[in-house]
Amino acid sequence: MSLAFRPSSFRVLRRTPIRRYASTSSVNDLNTGQSLRIFAVSTGIVIGSTLFAVYYADSRAAIHRYVVPPLSRLVLDAEKGHKFALGVLKSGLGPRDQGRDDEILQVELWDKKLANPVGLAAGFDKDGEAVNGLFDLGFSWVEVGSVTPRPQAGNPKPRVFHLTEDNAVINRYGFPSKGATSILTRLQARYTSLSSPETHSNASLREGKILSVNLGKNKSSPPDSLGDFLVGVRTFGPLADVLVINVSSPNTPGLRNLQSRGMLIELLDAVKRERDALQIDRELPKLLVKIAPDLSVGELQDVAEAVRETNFDGLIVSNTTIQRPPSLKSLNRSETGGLSGPPLKALTLNALKTIRPLLPASVPIVGCGGISTGDDAIEFARAGASTVQIYTSLAYDGAGAPRRIKDEITLRLKETNLTWMDIVKQGQEKAWQRPRKDSAPIDTASGLTESIQEGANRLAAMGERLIEVLKEDSLHIADKVQHDVSKE
């Protein structure tokens, strides 16, 4: 039968394709290949994430200097960038200093030994939120604050400005603070979080490190009142290694007037008596006063006399400046507030060199202002600083700034075969020394009487000698006359 006369059903059957099912082995091969690809991708993600986590965790990683800081300046304003960095460190997810401090970096400060000379200045962690995270960056000294007794908002925003071309910052924060009670609660929680905090000799709860609290005044308080500082001493004395009296912020009206000699003596004396009255089961906190770099030579002399007279424990030189060096390039240079960063360095060094010879070596000075390299730190030590603090360089150079500065100091010290303390002692050779009694000016009645008596004795001796000379001359003349007469 021809194809033309075949039933349609038959033709349909012939045109229907025959399905061929894959064998079990083929399906298994396909599944195995997909599984291998998924495994490889997953493994790559895990390994990559692990490597990145290890890389990120090291504060020396380039990302923390060349990516994060410039990117934050690009997408965030200065204050939001500050808060973002603080939040990361507060979370416990921040990077850490993975290096090790060389022994030549050790600092002898009062009866303490610090692991290195690089500390963090007040202003970065105003409310004590990220103390542990900041210590993890390798700082030997973390300063919280400024803290005011009562909460206050500070000055209106915007109040922080980058001067990127100058690696500097101008701020007019005005002591924004959550208040002493809030910050005290946070520090107490940190203290009690350890199983046996009493085993630590330092309030920092870290060996070879110091926790400091910077005390400020509420803007609403009378300019010449001392009460805010005394409240701060009572509140934070039990939880701090050091208390800093801040009389130098340019952003609180009237505060800098407390640097005058009479008011400063009254303030430091009252603070010291309040500190001495603390009843705590460990060493009393040391007391430092933080001054401005804008003081004249006479004003620095007044500060030094106040520190000597009250036996204060130390000094921080210095806070931000209200001056605007002509070298500034940024358009933000005209903003009102305190200038920090490298442009501040010359002013701070000048103040340090002026006041070091006015204070004994037993009164250490903390150098602060414009320090961004190891060479800067050594220059401050040669000028008489025992240790240094940074702030603005952390904002520009990132989380690795403390480690980088420490490594640069170590390199320079090894090149000269010196230790940090060797440099410090060289700087302290210029320190003030109490005049000896035999060279002291006469300022008592008994001393004046003794001096007059001594002068009278000398005058009597001179008179007796003159009489002897006159007698000798008379005898000589008489002999000559007698000789002449005999010749005649």
Instruction: List residues with catalytic annotation.
Output: 249
Distances (CA, A) of 165 to 171, 329, 396: 16, 6, 11
Are 270 and 226 in contact by the 8 Å Cβ rule? The answer is yes
Are 180 and 213 in contact by the 8 Å Cβ rule? The answer is no
Are 208 and 115 in contact by the 8 Å Cβ rule? The answer is yes
Closest of 404, 373, 410, 407 to residue 388, by C-alpha: 373
The token duo for 314 is 């130390």
The token duo for 353 is 């060199």
Are 180 and 236 in contact by the 8 Å Cβ rule? The answer is yes
Closest of 411, 402, 415, 346 to residue 372, by C-alpha: 402
Are 321 and 279 in contact by the 8 Å Cβ rule? The answer is no
- Cα separation, 387 vs 117, in Å, equals 5
Strand extents, DSSP E, 149-241: 160-163, 168-171, 210-215
DSSP of 78-119: HHHHHHHHHHHHHHT-S-B--S---GGG-EEETTEEES-SEE
Closest of 124, 134, 146, 108 to residue 387, by C-alpha: 108
Residue 348: CB atoms within 10 Å? 25
Stretch (H or E) spanning 146: strand 141-147
Residue 236: CB atoms within 10 Å? 25
- Cα separation, 271 vs 60, in Å, equals 40
Closest of 243, 382, 404, 381 to residue 312, by C-alpha: 243
Backbone angles phi, psi at 43, to 5 degrees: -65, -40
The token duo for 449 is 């009487």
Q: Inter-axis angle of helices 401-416 and 420-427, to 10 degrees? A: 80
SS3 content of the chain, % helix, strand, coil (to 5): 50, 10, 35
DSSP annotation of 149 reads S
> Residues with Cβ < 8 Å from 264, sequence gap 6 or more?
247, 258, 289, 302, 303, 306
Relative to beta strand 242-246, strand 210-215 is parallel
